[in-house]
Structure 1
């Protein structure tokens, strides 16, 4: 009996995994998209991402830096067009963790995206031993048709008088309820602080125009290089309107006031 007991103890010990093998990362914490995110400087959370005019928008998925990052190998991004049931999700991308010089808390989805389809995402963390965390919170986004044929003062590349007339088109004519005009000071590809943002009520026609004028523009926009774009905002009758939209490509221009 003594040897049987010893054998059972040894067998049980052999079957116990080591601490490293049982390490399972904590779930990923998603950056949730606040109301009015498109008017904020950083535009946090899930969002459309500008692309060239003939390409569909990307979708940005964002999460907080993981507190166990030194023990992680990668993050997996899952997507589904059907929110019901985890079996409907598939991996659409992965992000290496803790690689020097690489951002490991954001992913841009470009795979077979279509307008007017709501996509659902969650993210998991995978440890060095291959153990995967439980899923993060689920976030979703629906891409709308984006504005095209953007024009400032009749396609002028330089603004020298205090009048700025913006024009854009929705190719299909299915205009949204609201737009957002976003203007940034273009210092470099990595530094472009927000200079101006304005919600614009749709006139439900295309092209849509918006005009800024007056000498106050000279103080609002000092001489320099700028870029602008138009965001389409989800319908007002939709509860999650801030989780759907589109962003046009950027248009560059210069301001050189004639003083």
Structure 2
């Protein structure tokens, strides 16, 4: 059984890419087969995992346009995940998709052809609610929303939930919200705790635990082309993602029971 999770937040800088890379590495540590999908034309996930986006010949954009198969684009990164990479040419593909038939379903169709090779597919969505993000929501079973534990960070959550609702109603009836993952969390402050309480009460969303601590180690890891589990494996940030991964595995085992 393959579980596809879209990691979504239209606000940039909230830890989407860090979450995809770190959670993927944590699942690999637990013996899982993991495919990461970089849907952001900026190629942040691709770069973070040690691949220069400018050196990529085949991207997820080519796959979405139907000129290449997913197998043609997949690369293996040092932390053991497989990756469908991205670069700036994906923005051109996004523009072309606007007028293409089945644009919302193209990622799902492409991933269906390789899903049997993986236990988990994690999709790093761009910081917009456009064609690429809707395609990710159409392909996923679950949505994970990384959210910086600061007051202004959750202002766009309502708009995101509206998009998820529309996708569930018209395209993907099986889509469910896994929850909000607090990132850049400083547990010493009452403010961070208050933000999480406000999110829970305002949007009635599950909070994925543990929250991800605020640390410079997350910024340092991409410079080495690894996740934090590869660069600082005993750090509290790495351990937090291991616990989130364990929760995903336990949740799937419970659902299968």
Bigger share in strand: 1
Fold agreement, TM-score > 0.5: no
* Higher fraction of helix: 2
Alignment TM-score, normalising by the size of structure 1: 0.25
